[in-house]
Chains A and B, each alone.
Chain A
Amino acid sequence: MAADPLAGDPGAITRLSSALADHQDDIRTGAHHVASALHDADGWEGASKDRFTTTVGTIAPAAQRIISRLDAAIDVLDTYAEAVRQIQDEADRIQAAQLTNAVDSIANAVSLGSAQSTAAGSDATEADDRRVDRLQTDADDLAAAAKRLDAEWDALVERRAAADRTAAAGLTDSEVLGVAVGYAGALAAMSDADFLRAVAGMPPEVLAAQDEAVADRIAGMPSEVVQAWWDGLGGRGTAGEHSAAQDALITALPAVIGNLNGVPYWARDQANRLSAQRAYVQAKEAVKAAKKDLKTAIGRTAQLAAQQKLNAAERRYDQLKNFVAGVRTGLNGVDGMPRQMVSFSDAQPPLGAISIGDLDTADNVSYLVPGMGTTLQDTTVLMRASANVAATQRLSEAGQNTAMVSWIGYEAPGNVLTTGDPGVFGESHARAGAERLADDLGGFRAIRPDTTLNVVAHSYGSTTAAITLHDHPELGVHSFVTHGSAGIPNSIPDAAATNADHVYSAQAEERWNVAHIGRSLSYPQRLDPTDSDFGSTVIDASGADRSPAVDVHDLIVNPDGDPDADHGYLDLDTNTLLETAKATLR
């Protein structure tokens, strides 16, 4: 389509440019506050400061680069506004001339017609003929002028098209975008190695601006490729000491790096904290918006829909709030053990895992897989159960360097007792969850091939974990411990079929017989791992050696260790807790 020399508003283009200049001021102000924070941190020294300094040091140069790119965009817009203004002025002049020419041509045509008529009359004079000649000459001159004006207009159309092309090219130039336009296309054609090298060379704010395809390609890389790439960026690194390229990747692509198998867990932790914090802030805003919508909803149908939207927003907010709290909530007996956000997925429902202990250095790592009704809203409760195991492990010499992962990495079926959801009787949630667990355990194995790996599973979590272990013997699981199992799929007929070196199982006399009901009503019918035919080592949950008996289906219901209160499988002082700790250390 031909360019329109009169299109657009140079004043509005100039205002765009001014708004970008205002934006630069905001970036400068923000960077100034960051510089103040760095200055304020002068009195802070130690390992915690190192991590702070590394990241804070990336902001000022990034802000400066962003300001420079805005400068380039402002130049493009200012030049373009001036060009459009000149073209429009010229267009106005040409159009005015064309109008005058058209009016003159019409008047001349009328006069010429009249003069020709007079000159053709019987009483015509020489003067009439001369008038016709003069008017004909005028008509020729006007036609020539019209042609010249048309040519000038065509040239102006081309000039405007050129100005548009220059502006469009300028706004997508590498000086403005920080990376050449079409770079993602070029990246797509690269080998994995070249692609990863190119990605690692990008400044963080530019990397963050790349489209989804870049993130998707990194996320799909095999763990051994990722591991070699990461190590090539300055070694494995630690939370306190790592390269600027590694830091750029963590901050620019947190959702990818946080779940990328092959990346060390300290980096995943930092990335996931960033992603989870962002999701939490968004969830908080979603609740505010949903409350506002409910207030303004008119009519029963609209109010019902708004209420449902608010309920869903609040549910999600509660889940994310508890997950974010998991890395700092107070836990007994695990002082000095670091915590890591091992994974986080901002999905529906959100999923994630938090470790007590350092997965990059622990000698012995156990994943705790929960059962029905578990969501991220249960993170801190599950972590208290994990803390009890870790604290009990620490009582022995072999348990000084362990880690317990509270893994809420699958969508567990709803609690049938409170929601009526019959999903716990089927296997679909377990099969989907088993794949996710296999992926996470496989990711761990990829970078920690020689570490002792255990799985402790509760209720429906044992159904899920059993499928993972059966389908993936390469995971090399040392001990598989089940508590109140909702049943092992009958395609896994015995302990040996789980491929774990050791299998331990506990089944308490639970109030309401929750686990028993789960197994009895399961379809296909699932197995009780404490049956003698199954071949598991049975853990006594009835109160051995003066320990309190487990009497409810939960993992933990008695945080204060009250001997007269109910006890879950991983409550303090229970034999099931002690034996779980021992089983994972054998």
Chain B
Amino acid sequence: MADLTVSWSTLEAVHGALDKATSTFTGASLPAEGGASGAEDVAQAFATFRTAQQRSDEWLADTSRTLREYAKDTKSLFADADDDLAGKAGGK
């Protein structure tokens, strides 16, 4: 196993930054064509582009959210391990 070095504040900071990233990616909205072109084929092409773009945005948001949760889980696991060790040391 690789040497483990981490601090609670490090994981807190990582979690916080990823929380901001997730919110930003989730809140990023794409405009709808709304008849701007007045041309059916252009409106359809814009819809295709918009759907693809939206899915790519979702990927960014999902990936950031997963990493945020990973940082949070890692933080929780350290806390659990700490409690567990404290319990064992106390003979519980």
Q: How far is the CA of A46 from the CA of B10 in the complex (A)?
A: 13
Query: Does A29 lie within 8 Å of B24, measured CB to CB?
Result: yes
A276, chain B: closest CB distance, angstroms = 10
Which residues of B lie under 8 Å from residue A29 when comparing CB positions?
24
**Given A45-B2, A327-B73, residue A167 in contact with residue B28 (CB < 8 A):** no
Interchain CB contact (< 8 A) of B59 among A3, A33, A56, A251: A251
Query: Does B57 lie within 8 Å of A48, measured CB to CB?
Result: no
List B residues 1-49 near A (Cβ within 8 Å): 1-7, 10-11, 13-14, 17-18, 20-21, 24-25, 27-31, 33-39, 41-42, 44-46, 48-49
B3, chain A: closest CB distance, angstroms = 6
Which residues of A lie under 8 Å from residue B56 when comparing CB positions?
62, 66, 69, 178, 205-206, 208-209
Q: Mark A170-188, 1 if CB is under 8 A from B, else 0.
A: 1110001110010000000
Q: How far is the CA of A26 from the CA of B24 in the complex (A)?
A: 6
| A476 CB–B CB distance under 8 Å | no
| B82 CB–A CB distance under 8 Å | no
Which residues of A lie under 8 Å from residue B65 when comparing CB positions?
277-278, 281
Query: Does A328 lie within 8 Å of B77, measured CB to CB?
Result: yes
B23, chain A: closest CB distance, angstroms = 8
Query: Does A46 lie within 8 Å of B36, measured CB to CB?
Result: no
Q: How far is the CA of A390 from the CA of B1 in the complex (A)?
A: 23
Q: How far is the CA of A330 from the CA of B45 in the complex (A)?
A: 51
| A455 CB–B CB distance under 8 Å | no
B28, chain A: closest CB distance, angstroms = 4
Interface residues on chain A, size class: 35 or more
Interchain CB contact (< 8 A) of A44 among B10, B59, B76: B10
Query: Does A66 lie within 8 Å of B60, measured CB to CB?
Result: yes
Closest 3 CB pairs of A and B: A7-B38, A8-B38, A26-B28
Mark A residues whose CB is within 8 Å of B: 3-4, 7-9, 12-13, 15-16, 19-20, 23, 26-27, 29-31, 33-34, 36-37, 40-52, 55-56, 58-59, 62-63, 66, 69-70, 73, 80, 84, 160, 164-165, 167-172, 176-178, 181, 204-206, 208-209, 251-252, 254, 270, 273-274, 277-278, 281, 327-328, 330, 335
Mark B residues whose CB is within 8 Å of A: 1-7, 10-11, 13-14, 17-18, 20-21, 24-25, 27-31, 33-39, 41-42, 44-46, 48-49, 51-53, 55-60, 62-67, 69-71, 73-74, 76-77, 80, 84
